[in-house]
Structure 1
């Protein structure tokens, strides 16, 4: 969509705005990224929601129930890619699956994968960073989800699930069959509802990205998140945890950081931390699991995210 950036730049120049300056450049960056992400977001949410209409909770539960061992973790992680876009939206499904008797490790693979990786993020990441980075991000996200769920299952952490979850029983009912028209209406409604929820975070994310892109000196970003700081990955993960956004809100920030000299693995660690370990989602998850299991979940995710960050920093030359 470079034509859109050029069109916005020409329009601003016609209004007397100097797009080569900091203020004008920030305005152009903001308008272009908001328009680009909004258009892509609506298209992707509609498409993913249509696909999601074929995987209601009851059907997903039946699919997961057919598999055992690590295969179940892999399927759960893959199912997570066609579910809602933020960690808080995924926790009710996690609770439903757990109360329905699915293995705890399998449900945690789903919980990790759902906010971190989805089909929409794959397409949006590819449009901004290229297919190699997008596919790599999705692949490592799925690996973290599978490994994390497998470890939780191996260590038999079921006793650390709150008792009301264990006794709740299956809460889902069989979803009715939908016609093609009903699926399209569902996809439209999901698109509008999700867009309204996500759009404020896009504005904030693009605003932060515009500031980073046009106001923060490049050597500052390189000093903190570049190759000169061996703790850049850890710092990025720590910064990302208190934030609450989905991947659509973090992409503009990541794009600006990368253009300013931050290392690829450091940027990916930041994105994963924001989407997977946001404080609101952890507070919700604490209602369902006991502190020891919550701490293990945080530890596995944080360790995986940091390891992925350093790995991608080492092999950054293969992607950029």
Structure 2
């Protein structure tokens, strides 16, 4: 929590901003909160985690920043706060529509009663000898009732129109949150957006960029899981592999769902040999996974994966590194699958 006098706050920000600039940290409210707390030394555990991450990556990946924020500063997280606000807005809107609807229904019931009353008056025997004033009185009541009903309906239509605009706004905000999310909901690893953002972030430091190794992993014969057992089973396979990949995630090793049944692992620091050993260990752990029928426990199939690994060459772009890793992956698949191949 940020505390202290205005002068202290200003001094901490003066210390925080140069550090953020030095490490290429985007100047966002979330990062401000992290680095403000860091220079204030209010949470030694947070400071140690930040030091470890910066040592490994040369910066703080966006996804890691969100994790730190959620763990050390706001347990609900920035996305959860936004969702909570949206929920409150939606609840208020629904309550407002409900009140207007009840008012409109009440007005309709009153107008129906007025119509019944006027109908009885016009059909009664006494109406045969009714004067023009009597008929005029009935017309006047109908006019007043009709005007009130129109006004009530118009208010409700205005509320519905405003609600429709609010719903569209909330839907757009929800879509923006979904697009900005860093995690893949099904597998639990980081998503493609996080991969694209962070690979560029790691490689954007020029000579100060850490050594980077990139592994592209593809689940073998994944289409057969969907074709033989259905998409829910295919989702279970993805979830199992995602959990296995998360087991190797640590500072310096980040895991992402690249798309479909393909995953990516970024290794920052260390040697190619170390990255290859970890990738091979991971491949073997996936090979030991067994897909079972959730109802009977019957073994349905084994799961295997092919992996392509490449180290970033001096001056190489992110796109070129991905291309070389992909070529190594294709080589692994073409040579029999369930193996690791390294790019030259």
Same fold at TM > 0.5: no
Q: Higher strand fraction: Structure 1 or Structure 2?
A: 2
Higher relative contact order (CA 8 A, sep 6+): 1
Q: Which has the higher helix share?
A: 1
**What TM-score comes out, normalization by structure 2 length?**
0.22
